A and B are shown apart, each in its own frame.
Chain A
């Protein structure tokens, strides 16, 4: 396999290569969660219990619990927000009573899955988001200033941020440029995990001088010139 080959894209069938769907582990997580789950007392308490001062159970909290239980994954804040639109609580009957003395729920509570796959628009909105959040909190001082400028040049359209001496503005410039790139789909990255890695590579290189991270970022940048969607790439560890 060549350095710039996209193995995942080459394995896609002809129709998928044309339609370019976004690939995401969220769809796999969604498929592993049952269509409908009846919440018994223990499940209800386990879902809420992590946040011991809260007496409410939100879809977000429930989804986080189910992803951990059925798919053995821990979701980021962005992923939880994307998935929680795919579920709804339903009550069977009018009154549902919870009894902490008998450890029982009287009545039915169901968590119902509304779709088998995550909406493409939702996946588009979360592309690269976790990586951008990682960049938003990076510290830029000393040698990191120069590395931040290198990244800004590679990102392009960032002249005013390379000139500034403010670490805050440089960090903001990197963040804004990444938001622009993903919003306009400039690089045509169609895998959510790969899209998130962009921000993490940038953070690792700028703050720590991690050359493997820079190498990966540069490889990805080269692949954006191939005029085809990007699903995977060979990474340097």
Chain B
């Protein structure tokens, strides 16, 4: 997961400058913390799916009492990792040629029993990068060879994990 954390190194925050909105009856004033005048947008490296994923998990928080935006790089990396872990069962659901792919052994393993160690997470990150090179954002494969290759890889990983 340190790979994901590396993408967050250059993340900044929005400038805490807002346009105030007055309710039509004059009863309250609000500021939209999701819409500051100078919003920070994380840079996406073109062609880098991990960069795109981490950027989509970017989240900043603003509290008036603190007067500034804050981010948690750790939380952003964790959020990206959760998306990657979720992409595996999604890939299986979209690409297994079965009537009920969610009932398969491999799907249930991917949905519930994948290890949560750092080493395994690193493997998933690399696998995700590979999968996104031939899948759309919905994890539907557009290359059968690569899709079968990935299914075989996942089966092997599952078997090895079950042996342990």
Contacts and interface: CB of A to CB of B under 8 A. Distances in A.
Q: Do A and B bind?
A: yes
Interface of A: 45, 48-49, 52-59, 84, 88-91, 95-101, 103, 105, 107, 109
Contacts of B67: 45, 100, 103
B15 interface: yes
Given A55-B33, A91-B22, A100 B68 contact: yes
B26 A55 contact: no
A97 B27 contact: no
B15 A101 contact: yes
A98 B63 contact: no
B28 A56 contact: yes
A59 B22 CA distance: 11
27 contacts: A49-B65, A52-B63, A52-B64, A53-B63, A55-B30, A55-B32, A55-B33, A56-B31, A57-B29, A58-B28, A59-B26, A88-B26, A89-B23, A89-B28, A90-B22, A91-B22, A97-B18, A97-B19, A99-B16, A100-B16, A100-B17, A100-B64, A100-B68, A101-B15, A101-B17, A105-B20, A109-B29
Contacts, number: 70
B68 to A, nearest CB: 6
B114 to A, nearest CB: 35
Nearest to A110: B26
Interface string B77-116: 0000000000000000000000000000000000000000
B134 interface: no
A55 B17 CA distance: 13
Nearest to A97: B19
A83 to B, nearest CB: 13
Contact of A59 (B20, B27, B33, B63): B27
B41 to A, nearest CB: 19
B16 to A, nearest CB: 4
Interface in B1-55: 15-20, 22-23, 25-33, 37
Interface of B is mostly: strand
A98 B18 contact: yes
The 4 A-B residue pairs with the shortest CB-CB distance in the complex, in nearest-first order: A100-B16, A52-B65, A88-B26, A100-B67
Contacts of B68: 100
B29 A95 contact: no
Nearest to B22: A91
B36 to A, nearest CB: 10
Contacts of A107: 20
A99 B68 CA distance: 10
B17 A97 contact: yes
Contacts of B28: 56-59, 89
Contacts of B31: 55-56, 98
Nearest to B17: A99
Nearest to A52: B65
Contacts of B37: 97
